[in-house]
Structure formats: structure tokens, C-alpha cells
């Protein structure tokens, strides 16, 4: 999965999209000007891609929401419980509604998935912070369950991140190599417990591992670790959904080697799809250094959206009207 340069496709974008290894595109704020432009860009991407690709976006809500004007202002997940006066039933209703609303608006523009929700605890990590639903596992599991239920009702699959948990390291893996020195028992009973419980409920369709090293378990960051991805995620948890790498351009991936080495390591560890973002040369390097006849990953097709109406049709539905009413009430 790679990105594209701007609000319309360049010749270089089209050339990359036609490569047999490209299975997805992730969109950023620079790819959005207005709704008409977004619809045209996504149409161009679908036409230019050789494969039936997945189109994704980080549209979590709060400070991580790529499309603003014309889209609903989804709140930060970490604010919902507090703004609900810490009444759990009210927070649950908001999470369900906002999960549906976020997903429904993206789906209406032919976007398959938003990489959401964040399942990390709101601990010491600044890069997580209010992207997390809560500071404690049980209420986080409860709120995330309702948010995912809303996503699923809209028709979007859920991707939980960042396995086994990014909330208890201070460093930001975008710019540093975070190291979490806790024991496996501590991680399993706190951070990983969230993923285990949500998977047991059948709510997780995809998982994105953290660019974090947990040296008491393995010397490799989780997204490059067979121990984490094969032993714990696949075998112990029994997870059979899609494993996405986090962006291989992040600093937390750098010590693995160049971009080709990072891609091979992530795939070897068990990632189904690797992300290379904000670096066209890196994306080209990865494509040039992987075999072009790699087998099709059958898990990925399960994440594609079902056909649905456009944004104008969505706005006419009763559920959209009620969701907007809830959003207005939330911000009042």
C-alpha cells in the first residue's frame, strides 16, 4: 500500500498503480481539497490500478482526521467518556454512533477502510494520548467494542492498532525507536489483553502492529517479529485477519535496514500488506526488490467495502440525520 502525490494523479502515480505488487493506496490530507475532487481522485485511482486495490485512510477522529471540510468532525476517542460526564451508557451510544458516522462517510466516497480504532492505552505516549479511548483496559474494550460495532453496521471492517500496545512507551515511533522494557506477563495482562478480548468478541478484521521493541520478548519491533506476529497473534490468539505493517518510512522501522530490507522483513514476519508512505523513491525501491509474481493474499479481499450509495444518498438517510443530531448534542 502506497500513497499518491496530491489532489490528482501524476504520471508517476499512474505508473506505480499499474504495478502488479500494488494492492492499496492510503490517502492523506494533501489528497483532499473538496468532496468533488476526492470523488474524482478515487475514481482515477480505481481506473489506474491494475489490481482490485484497497483504498484506506487514517480517519480516526480528533487530531487524526484527513478530510475536514464537508465531513463530520469526529471527536477524539479519548474525549468521549469525559464529555459524557463519565456515564458509560452515554459514552457507549456516542461511540457506536460516531463509529458508524465515520465509516459511512468514508464508504460513501468509495474508501474501503479507515485504519481505526486505536486500541492503545492512554498512558505515557504523547503520540497516542487522546487517540486512545481510555487509560484502563476494561472501559477501553467496552468503548472500542461499540465504536467497531458502529463501523461494522456501516459496512466497514475494523483495523485495531498498534499491537501489542504503544501506550506505555514515551517515544514516538514516527521519529524514534521506542523500547518497552516490561515483561511479557505485564504486556499480556494490560495492553495485549485489549486485543485478545476484542478478537474473542469477533470484532477485529485487521491489526496493525507497533514499531516498538519489547526486548523481554524479542529484539525485533513487533511489526518485524515472528514471535509477536506468528507465535502470539496468529497461534496464541488465533487471529486470522489481515496484518498491516505500520508505515515502513517511520523511524521505528529504520534500524531494520533500507526500504527493501524493511519490506522483506515485515513480509517474512507475517504481515499481509506493507505500507510505504510519503516517500515515492522508497515505494519504488520496495517494488523493484520484491518478486513481481508474489502470490495473491486472499485475506485482503475480505476488507473490501460492499457497494453502497454516494454521499448525497447517505445524507438523506434517517440514520445520518440522527447521527448529526448526536454530534451536535455532543459538542453543545
The residues that are catalytic are 174, 246
Three-class SS of residue 242?
Answer: strand
Strand order in the sheet with 54-57: 24-27, 54-57, 113-114
Of 198, 211, 292, nearest to 251 by C-alpha is 211
CB distance 27 to 57 below 8 Å:
yes
Q: How far apart, in whole angstroms, are the C-alpha atoms of residue 233 and residue 212?
A: 15
Q: How far apart, in whole angstroms, are the C-alpha atoms of residue 73 and residue 325?
A: 13
**DSSP secondary structure, 121-133, as one string:** -SSS-TTTGGGSS
In the numeric block, which cell numbers belong to residue 246? 505500520
Q: What residues pair up with 242 in beta bridges, in sequence order?
A: 206
Q: Tell the residue number behind the cell numbers 497473534, with chain if given.
A: 233
Cis bond before residue 52 (omega within 30° of 0): no
Sign of the four-CA dihedral 263, 266, 269, 271: negative
- Give the DSSP H/E element, type plus range, for residue 55: strand 54-57
Amino acid at each position: 500500500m502506497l500513497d499518491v502525490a496530491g489532489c490528482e494523479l501524476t504520471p508517476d502515480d499512474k505508473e506505480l498503480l499499474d504495478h502488479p505488487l500494488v494492492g492499496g493506496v492510503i490517502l492523506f490530507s494533501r489528497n483532499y481539497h473538496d468532496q468533488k475532487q476526492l470523488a474524482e481522485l478515487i475514481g482515477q485511482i480505481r481506473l489506474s490500478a491494475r489490481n482490485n486495490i484497497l483504498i484506506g485512510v487514517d480517519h480516526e477522529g480528533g487530531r487524526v482526521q484527513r478530510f475536514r471540510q464537508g465531513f463530520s468532525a469526529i471527536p477524539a476517542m479519548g474525549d468521549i467518556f469525559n464529555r459524557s460526564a463519565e456515564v458509560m451508557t452515554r459514552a457507549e451510544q456516542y461511540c457506536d454512533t460516531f463509529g458508524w458516522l465515520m465509516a459511512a462517510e468514508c464508504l460513501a466516497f468509495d474508501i474501503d477502510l479507515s485504519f481505526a480504532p486505536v486500541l492503545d492505552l492512554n498512558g505515557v505516549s504523547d503520540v497516542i494520548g487522546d487517540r486512545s479511548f481510555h487509560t484502563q483496559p476494561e472501559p477501553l474494550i467496552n468503548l472500542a467494542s461499540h465504536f467497531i460495532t458502529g463501523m461494522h453496521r456501516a459496512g466497514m471492517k475494523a483495523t485495531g492498532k498498534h499491537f501489542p500496545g504503544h501506550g506505555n512507551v514515551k517515544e514516538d515511533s514516527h521519529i524514534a525507536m521506542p523500547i518497552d522494557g516490561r515483561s511479557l506477563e505485564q504486556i499480556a495482562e494490560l495492553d495485549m489483553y485489549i486485543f485478545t478480548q476484542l478478537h474473542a468478541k469477533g470484532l477485529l478484521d485487521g491489526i496493525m502492529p507497533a514499531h516498538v521493541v519489547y526486548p523481554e520478548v524479542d529484539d525485533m519491533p513487533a511489526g518485524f517479529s515472528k514471535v509477536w506476529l506468528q507465535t502470539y497473534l496468529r497461534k496464541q490468539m488465533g487471529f486470522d485477519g489481515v496484518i498491516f505493517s505500520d508505515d515502513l518510512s517511520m523511524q521505528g522501522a529504520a534500524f531494520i535496514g533500507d526500504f527493501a530490507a524493511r519490506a522483506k522483513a515485515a513480509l517474512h514476519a507475517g504481515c499481509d500488506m506493507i505500507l510505504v508512505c510519503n516517500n515515492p523513491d522508497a515505494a519504488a525501491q520496495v517494488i523493484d526488490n520484491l518478486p513481481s509474481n508474489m502470490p495473491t493474499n486472499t485475506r485482503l479481499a475480505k476488507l473490501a467495502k460492499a457497494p453502497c450509495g454516494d454521499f448525497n444518498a447517505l445524507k438523506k438517510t434517517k440514520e445520518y440525520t440522527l447521527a448529526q443530531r448526536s454530534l451536535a448534542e455532543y459538542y453543545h
